[in-house]
């Protein structure tokens, strides 16, 4: 019981830190918005300071989220209570949601953030559990019982239209381990037969959109040209 109490206190402390940082982000964003219409000759310096504080605060929030999920994982790894494990996994699903959609034979896993930077230490992707859960649910709903034998897997890194172009990463600056773990999860649920080189070709593309996010597209071989033509139709 004491262990559970200590865990609860730790989790509440982390969540309070996240809430406080979220308030800071809101305040900095409001100041930034006001500065955009200011005639103060020093506004450029203030704007740059606000942007730096926003970036730092956002990074801290994401780091605290990761620590929170890590603590959740540690709790359930030593937990025999099935109901409690279910609730913890549900919390992870809400923190790191994944949507799975299909259009014209192409299956897409949609993540509400960019993949981690290649220099970020990773043990397990925060999205791995949700990828498996949502992928299985999608396959069951669509009646998919056979894996795709050969496919192109496209990691699409989407940046919102208002993101400065200097922030956009090179396509080789995403975390290869996280990408591998998510692809392994897709193979594990039986959506792909294998991720061997001769059966699974991989590519990274960068596009613009309304929101910053990542989509992993599972594309049958015969649809790759059509997919790329459609994807870049409005990018030129």
Interval 189-203: pLDDT, tens: 999 999 999 999 999
Q: Are residues 229 and 148 in the same domain?
A: yes
Whole domain around residue 111: which residue ranges?
96-236
What is the rounded CA–CA span in Å between residue 112 and residue 158?
Answer: 10
**Are the C-beta atoms of residues 222 and 177 closer than 8 Å to each other?**
no
> Is the pLDDT score of 8 beyond 70?
no
Distances (CA, A) of 111 to 108, 203, 214: 10, 17, 5
Of the residues 75, 90, 105, the one at which a domain ends: 90
Continuous segment of H or E residues that includes residue 4:
helix 2-35
What is the rounded CA–CA span in Å between residue 14 and residue 124?
Answer: 20
**Are the C-beta atoms of residues 232 and 154 closer than 8 Å to each other?**
no
Of the residues 50, 69, 90, the one at which a domain ends: 90
- Bridge partners of 109? 100, 216
> Is the pLDDT score of 2 beyond 50?
no
pTM above 0.85, yes or no: no
- Bridge partners of 120? none
Provide the CATH number for the domain around residue 102. 3.30.1330
**Are the C-beta atoms of residues 175 and 126 closer than 8 Å to each other?**
no
Q: Are residues 77 and 136 in the same domain?
A: no
Q: Are residues 163 and 72 in the same domain?
A: no
The total domain count for the chain is 2
Q: Are residues 145 and 194 in the same domain?
A: yes
**Which of 202, 207, 189 has the alpha carbon at shortest distance from 100?**
189
Q: What is the pLDDT of residues 69-119, one digit of tens each?
A: 666 666 555 555 555 555 555 655 666 789 999 999 999 999 988 887 777
Q: Which is more confidently placed, 1 or 43?
A: 43
Q: Are residues 116 and 64 in the same domain?
A: no
Q: Helix or strand or coil: residue 7?
A: helix
Q: Predicted confidence band at 121 (pLDDT cuts at 50, 70, 90)?
A: low
């Amino acid at each position: 019981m004491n262990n559970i109490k200590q865990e609860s206190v730790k989790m509440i402390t982390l969540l309070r830190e996240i809430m406080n940082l979220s308030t800071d982000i809101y305040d900095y964003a409001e100041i930034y918005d006001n500065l955009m219409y200011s005639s103060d000759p020093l506004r450029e310096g203030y704007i740059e300071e606000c942007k730096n504080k926003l970036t730092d605060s956002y990074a801290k929030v994401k780091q605290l989220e990761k620590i929170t999920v890590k603590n959740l994982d540690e709790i359930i790894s030593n937990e025999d209570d099935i109901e409690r494990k279910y609730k913890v996994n549900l919390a992870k699903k809400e923190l790191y949601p994944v949507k799975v959609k299909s259009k014209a034979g192409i299956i897409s896993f949609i993540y509400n953030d960019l993949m981690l930077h290649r220099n970020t230490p990773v043990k397990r992707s925060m999205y791995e559990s949700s990828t498996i859960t949502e992928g299985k649910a999608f396959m069951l709903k669509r009646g998919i019982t056979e894996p795709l034998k050969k496919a192109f897997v496209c990691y699409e890194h989407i940046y919102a239209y208002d993101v400065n172009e200097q922030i956009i990463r090179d396509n080789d600056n995403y975390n290869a381990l996280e990408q591998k773990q998510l692809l392994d999860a897709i193979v594990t649920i039986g959506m792909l037969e294998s991720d061997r080189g001769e059966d699974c070709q991989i590519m990274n593309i960068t596009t613009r959109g309304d929101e910053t996010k990542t989509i992993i597209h599972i594309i049958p071989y015969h649809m790759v040209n059509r997919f790329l033509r459609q994807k870049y139709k409005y990018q030129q």
